[in-house]
Amino acid sequence: MRSPVPRGRIREVRFASGLDRSELVVVDHRDLTGPNEVLLIEPDQPVLAADRVRHLHEPVLLLAHPSREALRRAVAAVEIVVDPEPPVLDFTVDPPPGGVQYGDDNVLKRLSIDKGDVETALAGAARIVEGEYRTGAQEHVYLENQGMVAWEEGDVLVVKGSLQCPYYVLKALGHALGRGPDRVRVVQAPTGGGFGGKEEYPSLVALHAALLARKAGRPVKLVYERGEDMEATTKRHPSLVRHRTGVDVEGRLLAQDIEVVLDGGAYVTLSPVVLSRAIIHAAGPYACDHVRIRGRAVFTNSPPYGAFRGFGAPQTIFANERHMDVVAAAVDLDPIELRRRNLIENGQSTATGQVIDDGTDRTALLDRAVELSGWHEKKAAHAELARRHPWRRRGMGLACFHHGAGFTGSGEVVLASRVDVAGLADGRIEVRSGNIEMGQGTLTVFTQIASEASGLAPSAIALAEPDTARVPNSGPTVASRTVMVVGRLIERAIEDLKARLGLPPDAGGDRFAEAIRAAHAERGEAPVGTATYQPPPGVEWDETTYRGDAYAAYAWAVYVAEVEVDLRTYTTRVVDFVALQEVGKVLNETLARGQIQGGVVQGIGWALMEDVVLEDGAMANAQLTNYIIPTSDDVPPIRVTFEETPYAHGARGAKGLGELPIDGPAPAVVNAVARATGTRPTTVPLTPERLMERLEEGRADVA
Partner 1 sequence: MSPERGSYADPAVDYHVEIAFTLNGAEVRIRVDPAERLLDVLRYRLGLTGTKEGCAEGECGACTVWIDGLPVDSCLVPAVQARGREVVTIEAVDPMRLRPLLESGATQCGACTPGVVMTALWILDHPDLLETHTVRELMAGNLCRCTGYDGIVEGVLEALEATRDTEREPA
Count interface residues toward partner 1 (CB under 8 A).
Answer: 46
Cα dihedral 102/103/108/109 (nearest 10): 180
- Work out which of 59, 439, 466, 656 binds partner 1, going by CB under 8 A: 439
Quick check: 143 binds partner 1 (CB under 8 A)? yes
Return the number of the residue (596 or 676) whose C-beta is nearest partner 1. 596
Return the number of the residue (433 or 597) whose C-beta is nearest partner 1. 597
Nearest Cα neighbor of 163 from 191, 125, 130, 121 is: 191
Which residues partner with 85 through β-bridges? none
Give me the least distance between CB of 657 and partner 1, in Å please.
14
- Residues between 602 and 621 that touch partner 1 (CB under 8 A): 602
Return the number of the residue (8 or 441) whose C-beta is nearest partner 1. 441
Q: Which one of the spans 20-28, 122-130, 433-441, 461-469 is the region binding partner 1 (CB under 8 A)?
A: 433-441
Return the number of the residue (129 or 141) whose C-beta is nearest partner 1. 141
Q: Are strands 8-15 and 52-53 parallel, antiparallel or unpaired?
A: antiparallel
Give me the least distance between CB of 599 and partner 1, in Å please.
7
Q: Are strands 156-161 and 614-615 parallel, antiparallel or unpaired?
A: unpaired
Return the number of the residue (502 or 637) whose C-beta is nearest partner 1. 637
Return the number of the residue (321 or 437) whose C-beta is nearest partner 1. 437
Nearest Cα neighbor of 126 from 341, 340, 350, 330 is: 330
Quick check: 440 binds partner 1 (CB under 8 A)? yes
d(CA 131, CA 145): 38
> Which amino acid makes up residue 22?
S
CA-to-CA separations, 631 to 43, 175, 307, 590, in angstroms, rounded: 40, 42, 24, 21
List the x/- string, 51-70, binding to partner 1 by CB under 8 A.
------------------x-
Quick check: 702 binds partner 1 (CB under 8 A)? no
- CA atoms within a 13 Å half-sphere pointing along the CA-CB vector of 376: 8
Quick check: 601 binds partner 1 (CB under 8 A)? yes
Return the number of the residue (508 or 599) whose C-beta is nearest partner 1. 599
Cα dihedral sign, 44-50-55-61: positive
Q: Which one of the spans 439-447, 558-566, 650-658, 692-700 is the region binding partner 1 (CB under 8 A)?
A: 439-447
CA-to-CA separations, 629 to 479, 571, 579, in angstroms, rounded: 23, 15, 20
Quick check: 591 binds partner 1 (CB under 8 A)? yes
- DSSP annotation of 16 reads P
- Work out which of 295, 304, 310, 599 binds partner 1, going by CB under 8 A: 599
What element of type H or E holds 440? Answer: none
- Work out which of 91, 102, 167, 195 binds partner 1, going by CB under 8 A: 195
Give me the least distance between CB of 593 and partner 1, in Å please.
7
Quick check: 346 binds partner 1 (CB under 8 A)? no
Residue 648 DSSP SS3: coil
Quick check: 637 binds partner 1 (CB under 8 A)? yes
d(CA 397, CA 670): 7
Return the number of the residue (349 or 444) whose C-beta is nearest partner 1. 444
Give me the least distance between CB of 73 and partner 1, in Å please.
6
- Residues between 67 and 96 that touch partner 1 (CB under 8 A): 69, 72-73, 75-76
Quick check: 18 binds partner 1 (CB under 8 A)? no
Quick check: 625 binds partner 1 (CB under 8 A)? yes
- Work out which of 225, 250, 426, 525 binds partner 1, going by CB under 8 A: 225
Quick check: 656 binds partner 1 (CB under 8 A)? no
Return the number of the residue (229 or 325) whose C-beta is nearest partner 1. 229
Contact 273, 311 (CB under 8 A): yes
Return the number of the residue (423 or 661) whose C-beta is nearest partner 1. 661
Nearest Cα neighbor of 546 from 114, 258, 257 is: 114
List the x/- string, 163-192, binding to partner 1 by CB under 8 A.
---------------------------xxx
Quick check: 562 binds partner 1 (CB under 8 A)? no
Total length of the chain:
703
Quick check: 597 binds partner 1 (CB under 8 A)? yes
Quick check: 633 binds partner 1 (CB under 8 A)? yes
d(CA 243, CA 29): 45
What element of type H or E holds 93? Answer: none
CB burial readout 22-39, b (16+ within 10 A) else e: eebbbbbbebbebeebbb
Nearest Cα neighbor of 485 from 368, 599, 582, 404 is: 404
- Work out which of 7, 109, 140, 694 binds partner 1, going by CB under 8 A: 140
Return the number of the residue (485 or 604) whose C-beta is nearest partner 1. 604
As to burial, measured by CB atoms within 10 angstroms (0-12 exposed, 13-18 middle, 19+ buried), residue 318 is buried
Q: Which one of the spans 113-121, 135-143, 201-209, 362-370 is the region binding partner 1 (CB under 8 A)?
A: 135-143
Quick check: 226 binds partner 1 (CB under 8 A)? yes
CA-to-CA separations, 550 to 13, 220, 486, 539, 652, in angstroms, rounded: 48, 43, 18, 9, 22
CA 197 to chain centre: 8
Contact 247, 126 (CB under 8 A): yes
What element of type H or E holds 588? Answer: none
Return the number of the residue (57 or 252) whose C-beta is nearest partner 1. 57
Give me the least distance between CB of 632 and partner 1, in Å please.
4
- Where on the chain is the footprint of partner 1 (CB under 8 A)? 69, 72-73, 75-76, 140-145, 190-195, 225-226, 438-441, 590-591, 593-594, 596-602, 623-625, 629-635, 637-638
